[in-house]
Amino acid sequence: MPSDSQLEDELSSPYSLTDDHHLNFSRDGFIRLPNVLSPGAVVRLREELINLLNKTFPKNNRNNRFLSLEMMWIESPIIRQYVLSPRIAKISADLLSVKSVRLYHDNTLSKEPGCGRTPWHYDDHHFPLETNDVVTAWMPAQPVPKAMGPLSFAKPLNVFNLVKNINFNKNDTSYDKNVTEVFKANNVAIDSKPFAIGEASFHHNLSFHTAGENRTSQSRIVLANTYFADGARVVEKPTMVSGDWQKFIPGVGPGEIAASELNPICWPTNTKKRYSAS
């Protein structure tokens, strides 16, 4: 188990990306990277996320549920280190080929035992930003075997063009079924490998992904951080699909640069202010 100072050092150290990493992300819209976190850092992350989940959700009413928490970095000093991590943010900036990235939000995703599969979707609609330079770091807080429902990706990235005209319906499963049929008809390749401990994935906002059901007796807990290119503006007409986006970009209106106090620059970073909110 790393101490606080050891954890800070780990989450500040650079991760070396290769030319193949850049090529694969550009082509496929996602990449899996081994050893992004040490086993000890994964254990500390899981412990803190479980503590936060326990404060919010009754323990006796979780089976078959999908639990979610956001904006934990503001309250938890430990989670703040993972969310504002220069290591994670630099990977994100390098994959996007941008000089600087800001935080959009953090998100804990806990798929409880018995919880069903996550339908096909992409994240672009949820981020009311006038840029496609958006990436989400998906960091499991335990290994994710096939039976636990690892994140799975359709590739290459441009498969989103195959399903861009399918209308989304929040009242039934027709969208998921239609996307599945189109992908099968076009022999779209699906990457659904399990995640080893410390492995993380990074996916583009246009990357289509899904996840299987959790058929184990343990919670599948993940910390997902979304970063975007510094200088991006809020779209002129945010939609309801974007959710409560003003919670994540307070005080910023449509058409304005998304740079609120809750969107700190995570890379490059001023080490003296690395874990402050502004």
Query: Tell me: the pLDDT tens digits for 181-218?
Result: 999 999 999 999 999 999 999 999 999 999 999 999 99
The pLDDT value recorded for residue 164 is 92
CB count in 10 Å sphere of residue 63: 11
Mean pLDDT for the stretch of residues 140-159: 98
Q: 167 versus 153: which is more confidently predicted?
A: 153
- Asked whether residue 83 carries a pLDDT value surpassing 80, the answer given is yes
Spell out the domain ranges in the chain. 4-267
- Asked whether residue 277 carries a pLDDT value surpassing 60, the answer given is no
Check whether the bond before 194 is cis (ω within 30° of 0): no
Q: What is the pTM of this model?
A: 0.94
Distance from C-alpha of 233 to C-alpha of 236, rounded to nearest angstrom: 9
- Amino acid symbol at 34: P
The pLDDT value recorded for residue 240 is 59
Q: 272 versus 208: which is more confidently predicted?
A: 208
Q: Tell me which DSSP letter residue 261 carries.
A: T
- From 19-28, 54-63, 117-126, the region with the lowest mean pLDDT: 54-63
- Asked whether residue 274 carries a pLDDT value surpassing 70, the answer given is no
Mean pLDDT for the stretch of residues 9-25: 98
DSSP helix/strand/coil, 247: helix
- Asked whether residue 146 carries a pLDDT value surpassing 50, the answer given is yes
| CA angle centred on 113, ends 107 and 118, rounded to 5° | 55
DSSP helix/strand/coil, 48: helix
HSE value, Cβ hemisphere, 13 Å, CA-based, for 125: 11
HSE value, Cβ hemisphere, 13 Å, CA-based, for 250: 7
With bands split at pLDDT 50, 70 and 90, how would you rate the model's confidence at 242? low
Alpha-carbon distance values, 67 to 33, 70, 152, 177, 256 (Å): 25, 11, 19, 24, 32
- Asked whether residue 275 carries a pLDDT value surpassing 70, the answer given is no
With bands split at pLDDT 50, 70 and 90, how would you rate the model's confidence at 238? confident
CATH assignment of 4-267, among 1.10.645.10, 3.30.70.100, 2.60.120.620, 1.10.10.60:
2.60.120.620
Average pLDDT over all residues of the chain: 94
- From 80-94, 155-169, 182-196, 238-252, the region with the lowest mean pLDDT: 238-252
